[in-house]
Chain A
Amino acid sequence: MQDEESLVRRAKERDEAALTQLYEENFDKIYRYIVLKIGDRTEAEDMTQQVFLKAFKSISGYKFKGSPFSSWLFRIAHNQVVDYWRKKSKRATVPLDETFVGSSNSNPSSETERKMDIENLVAATKQLTSLQREVVSLRFAGGLSVAQVAGSMGKSEGAIKALQHSAVVSLRKMLATG
């Protein structure tokens, strides 16, 4: 954490090596987080770029408070995603994967273990509550620990563990019936 603090300090002084390191360490995590939230890989690329552009332009206002720098990036990414869906809904379009519905007569125990694909996963996470979805996105796509997710969402670790558990139970059911 000490290293990241000094890295961020240098980045705030517009040190290109530090900015590049922060970019390299976080770009893929933010990209995965956005892909899971919107389900469009090409759009997610552009949005990830926007997240970093915004973050680095306003990095001088960033205050290090002990949580990882990525938490701040995820917050920007979250706002970006909210904005994306707001605009998308204004255009009255329906995402293709929103039609995901599982058949009810499948055998959950035998089908859960099969390899899922990204479209199914995105569709399944849409059925979760917003808190569950956020936990899954930060934990599995963003690669944050439970403690980091808790810090990022302003909740206790116990609450995050409970949300993680209920989210995975729901995902299993949905993916098994998909």
Chain B
Amino acid sequence: MKNNREFANIFDECLERVLTGGESVEQCLASYPEHAAELKPLLQTALNAKETLEIAPRPEFRERARYQMLAALRDMKERKRRRFSLFGWQPRWATAAIAVLVLLVASSGTVAAAGNSMPDQPLYPVKLATERVRLVLTPSKLGKAEYYAELVDKRVNEIVNMAEKGKLKQMEKTTQRMNDQLMAVAVLVSAEGSAPAVLTAPPAPAMMMAPPPPEAATQPPPSRAGEPQKGKPEITAGPARPEPEAAPVLTPTPAAIPKPEEEEAEAEEEKMPDKRAKLREILTQNARKHPDALWAAYQRAPESMKPALRRALEASNIEYEKLLEFLEEMEEEAEKDDED
């Protein structure tokens, strides 16, 4: 027993000297010649294991995950701030009055006309501003997620329109907006299980998904969300048809993870199952509709427009796939809770 313990100490000392002290295996073996024969293969195995594990997540995923995390935290902060701000203490009628006022303004000619404007038209900034106002006035995170999903639908129409007109710059900007808004849906949906999120503005353009490698410009676009290869857009000749499949998605481990204090707000949302079902329905429809629309545009588009369209397809595939999986998992959990 004692010998074993001694050898375990020697083995660890050598490992430490090689891993952090910059020594070679041979140098360490020279310190313990009587154990060299036994130490050498074990050190080799340990170092091989360490080397094998020198892996890293995809850089674009790392960036995106960081952005989503910080965005979710900002939302929590904002929500807290609002809860204790003057606005937070305003009576309900005041919020309703503001909403009515905005609706009145929204019904005015300019805003109404801007509603159908396209990114290359002068009224388009009015359209975007109106969308931001409506987001601010949407109280629940699921409501916001639903509205973001609606905005993604508009962005897809705009991308197709810009592709048809050959307006690359506007199409790329709109693709970025679509990515941001899809990410916002993801952040809101993923935050739903733990803390309410309030996104009042789309994410910053600097945190967009990384563009594909140069050769991607010549590749055909990816298939639709829901394909078996989770998280990795598959390269096919056109959009595939299968329904999105269920895949294991994580949910919090309540016993082990400290509960965020913001969870108390969860109780406020009594109509969650209905809202979730509705959101899922919208996202399921969009997950089918959008790749089809973008693919059709891709086929008609000139070569110069194709890389940007391909990025739009990739982004929508990845985000929809994750969103649908997450929602499905949440529904399963809810069903399980009902059974319990």
Interface residues of A (CB under 8 A from B): 14, 16, 19-20, 23, 27-28, 31-32, 35-36, 41-50, 52-54, 56-58, 60-62, 75-76, 79-80, 82-84, 87-88, 91, 109, 112-113, 115-118, 121, 136, 140-141, 145-146, 158, 161-162, 164-165, 168-169, 171-172, 175
Given A27-B57, A50-B250, A87-B248, are A57 and B190 neighbors across the interface (CB < 8 Å)?
A: no
Given A31-B56, A168-B45, are A52 and B65 neighbors across the interface (CB < 8 Å)?
A: yes
Q: Please encode chain B, from 249 to 261, with 1 for each CB lying within 8 Å of some chain A CB and 0 for all others.
A: 1111101111111
Q: Across the two chains, which residue of chain A brings its CB closest to B257?
A: A54
Given A45-B61, A109-B41, are A140 and B49 neighbors across the interface (CB < 8 Å)?
A: yes
B32 beta carbon closer than 8 Å to chain A: no
Q: How far is the CB of B253 from chain A (nearest CB, A)?
A: 4
Q: Across the two chains, which residue of chain B brings its CB closest to A125?
A: B49
| Selected contact of B253 from candidates A49, A61, A79, CB within 8 Å | A79
Q: Across the two chains, which residue of chain A brings its CB closest to B62?
A: A27
| Selected contact of A84 from candidates B4, B12, B250, B260, CB within 8 Å | B250
Given A32-B53, A112-B41, are A49 and B65 neighbors across the interface (CB < 8 Å)?
A: yes
B68 beta carbon closer than 8 Å to chain A: yes
Interface residues of B (CB under 8 A from A): 4-5, 7-9, 11-12, 15-16, 41-42, 44-46, 48-53, 55-58, 61-62, 65-66, 68-70, 72-73, 76-77, 190-191, 194-195, 230-232, 248-253, 255-262, 322
Given A14-B77, A31-B56, are A168 and B11 neighbors across the interface (CB < 8 Å)?
A: yes
Given A161-B12, A169-B42, are A56 and B56 neighbors across the interface (CB < 8 Å)?
A: no
Q: Which of A83, A118, A164 has the most CB of B within 10 A?
A: A83
Q: How far is the CB of A152 from chain B (nearest CB, A)?
A: 14
Task: Report yes or no: A16 in contact with B65, Cβ–Cβ below 8 A.
Answer: no
Task: Report yes or no: B48 in contact with A115, Cβ–Cβ below 8 A.
Answer: yes
Q: Across the two chains, which residue of chain A brings its CB closest to B256?
A: A79
| Selected contact of B76 from candidates A52, A57, A116, A172, CB within 8 Å | A57
Q: Across the two chains, which residue of chain A brings its CB closest to B80?
A: A14
Task: Report yes or no: B4 in contact with A162, Cβ–Cβ below 8 A.
Answer: yes
Task: Report yes or no: A168 in contact with B46, Cβ–Cβ below 8 A.
Answer: yes
| Selected contact of A140 from candidates B4, B46, B249, B250, CB within 8 Å | B46
Given A88-B248, A164-B8, are A45 and B49 neighbors across the interface (CB < 8 Å)?
A: no
Chain A residues whose C-beta falls within 8 Å of the C-beta of B8 in the assembled complex: 158, 161-162, 164-165
Chain B residues whose C-beta falls within 8 Å of the C-beta of A84 in the assembled complex: 248, 250
Q: How far is the CB of B325 from chain A (nearest CB, A)?
A: 9
Top-8 shortest CB links A-B: A79-B256, A165-B8, A58-B258, A49-B65, A172-B45, A79-B253, A42-B231, A161-B8
Cα–Cα, bound, A76→B147 (Å): 33
Task: Report yes or no: B41 in contact with A113, Cβ–Cβ below 8 A.
Answer: yes
Task: Report yes or no: B44 in contact with A112, Cβ–Cβ below 8 A.
Answer: yes
| Selected contact of B42 from candidates A16, A41, A43, A168, CB within 8 Å | A168
| Selected contact of A45 from candidates B42, B57, B70, B72, CB within 8 Å | B57
Q: Across the two chains, which residue of chain B brings its CB closest to A160?
A: B12
Q: Which of A28, A49, A62 has the most CB of B within 10 A?
A: A49
Task: Report yes or no: B232 in contact with A42, Cβ–Cβ below 8 A.
Answer: yes
Given known contacts A23-B66, A162-B8, what 13 new A-B pairs fall within 8 Å (CB)?
Answer: A14-B73, A23-B69, A31-B55, A32-B55, A36-B53, A42-B230, A83-B251, A116-B52, A145-B16, A161-B5, A161-B11, A164-B15, A165-B7
Chain A residues whose C-beta falls within 8 Å of the C-beta of B253 in the assembled complex: 79-80, 82-83
Task: Report yes or no: A164 in contact with B12, Cβ–Cβ below 8 A.
Answer: yes
Given A27-B62, A42-B232, A82-B253, are A162 and B5 neighbors across the interface (CB < 8 Å)?
A: yes
| Selected contact of B194 from candidates A14, A31, A57, A91, CB within 8 Å | A57
Chain B residues whose C-beta falls within 8 Å of the C-beta of A158 in the assembled complex: 5, 8-9
Q: How far is the CB of B310 from chain A (nearest CB, A)?
A: 20
Task: Report yes or no: A57 in contact with B53, Cβ–Cβ below 8 A.
Answer: no
Cα–Cα, bound, A88→B246 (Å): 12
- Report 9 cross-chain contacts, Cβ distance below 8 Å, ordered by A residue: A27-B65, A32-B55, A42-B230, A49-B65, A53-B69, A57-B194, A57-B262, A75-B256, A141-B53
Q: Across the two chains, which residue of chain B brings its CB closest to A79?
A: B256
Task: Report yes or no: B258 in contact with A16, Cβ–Cβ below 8 A.
Answer: no
Q: Which of B46, B53, B55 has the most CB of A within 10 A?
A: B53
Cα–Cα, bound, A115→B53 (Å): 12
Cα–Cα, bound, A84→B77 (Å): 29
Q: Across the two chains, which residue of chain A brings its CB closest to B45?
A: A172
Cα–Cα, bound, A50→B145 (Å): 19
Q: Across the two chains, which residue of chain A brings its CB closest to B246?
A: A91
Chain B residues whose C-beta falls within 8 Å of the C-beta of A41 in the assembled complex: 55, 57
Q: Across the two chains, which residue of chain B brings its CB closest to A166?
A: B8
Chain B residues whose C-beta falls within 8 Å of the C-beta of A116 in the assembled complex: 48-49, 52
